[in-house]
């Protein structure tokens, strides 16, 4: 197995980031710093990243219903709760696939499979992600039309999205809107509504590709089936 694949399989990083670790001298094989990006790892090799010995783990895939106030990270230097902390009983070294803001709840994937993570997060793979947003303001077909045409946010072109107005309340000056996108830029959904003059007050991701949160309460998780993983990969391809 090629070294970058071995590192990704161990749950440390994606294959691409594994190459960066090698280039920066953070990877040793049998006690010596590795410089060959094409090195093939055998069963007798001892591989270390920053002094930590790696073992070739089985790939695992989880879906978490992330609560608000939890960081999409493995650890946090400020001591805040993390998504990996919720899955503390999982023995593999998993990490979140992409991220949800600390104040955003909903469906988040975690895995130790770097290739899978890349498939799920790269915009070119166009996997649908659906959100429910409570926004300040009165949502109408007219003021939401730019969502379906493609928008520019901070000079960056955003692909057309799909929306559904769930509920509006003129007396409270608030609306509930379902939005489906296939990209995942930082704060994208919040920025899209902000650009329309409808700032987000509350946000939750309710679906990712073929997955939804049925049967998974807030703060709980479950392992994906092989069929679900295969369907997600097929969507990405």
Catalytically active residues, by annotation: 101
- What SS3 string covers 120-189? HHCHHHCCCEEEEEEEECCCCHHHHHHHHHCEEECCEEECCCEEEEEEEECCCCEEEEEEEECCCCCCHH
Could you tell me if 173 and 138 are in contact, meaning their C-beta atoms sit under 8 angstroms apart? yes
Instruction: Return phi, psi of residue 187, to 5°.
Output: 60, 25
Question: For the stretch 7-40, what's the b/e string if a residue is b when 16 or more beta carbons lie within 10 angstroms of its beta carbon?
Answer: bbbbbbbbbeebbebbeeebbbbeeeebeeeebe
Q: What is the CA radius of gyration of the chain?
A: 20
């Amino acid at each position: 197995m090629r070294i970058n694949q071995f590192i990704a399989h161990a749950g440390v990083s994606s294959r691409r980031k594994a190459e960066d670790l090698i280039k920066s001298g953070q990877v040793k094989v049998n006690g010596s710093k590795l410089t060959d990006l094409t090195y093939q790892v055998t069963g007798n090799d001892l591989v270390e990243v920053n002094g930590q010995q790696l073992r070739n783990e089985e790939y695992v895939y989880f879906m978490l219903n992330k609560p608000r106030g939890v960081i999409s990270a493995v650890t946090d230097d400020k001591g805040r709760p993390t998504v990996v902390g919720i899955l503390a009983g999982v023995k593999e070294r998993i990490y979140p696939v992409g991220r949800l803001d600390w104040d955003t709840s909903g469906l988040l994937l975690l895995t130790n499979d770097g290739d899978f993570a890349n498939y799920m997060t790269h915009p070119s793979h166009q996997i649908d992600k659906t959100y429910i947003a409570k926004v300040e303001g009165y949502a109408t077909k007219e003021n939401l039309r730019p969502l379906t045409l493609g928008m520019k946010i901070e000079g960056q072109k955003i692909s057309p999205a799909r929306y559904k107005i769930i509920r509006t309340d003129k007396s409270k000056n608030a609306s509930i809107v379902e939005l489906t996108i296939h990209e995942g830029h930082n704060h994208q959904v919040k920025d899209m509504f902000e650009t329309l003059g409808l700032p987000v007050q509350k946000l939750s991701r309710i679906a990712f590709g073929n997955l939804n949160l049925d049967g998974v309460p807030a703060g709980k998780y479950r392992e994906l089936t092989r069929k679900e993983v295969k369907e997600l990969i097929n969507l990405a391809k």
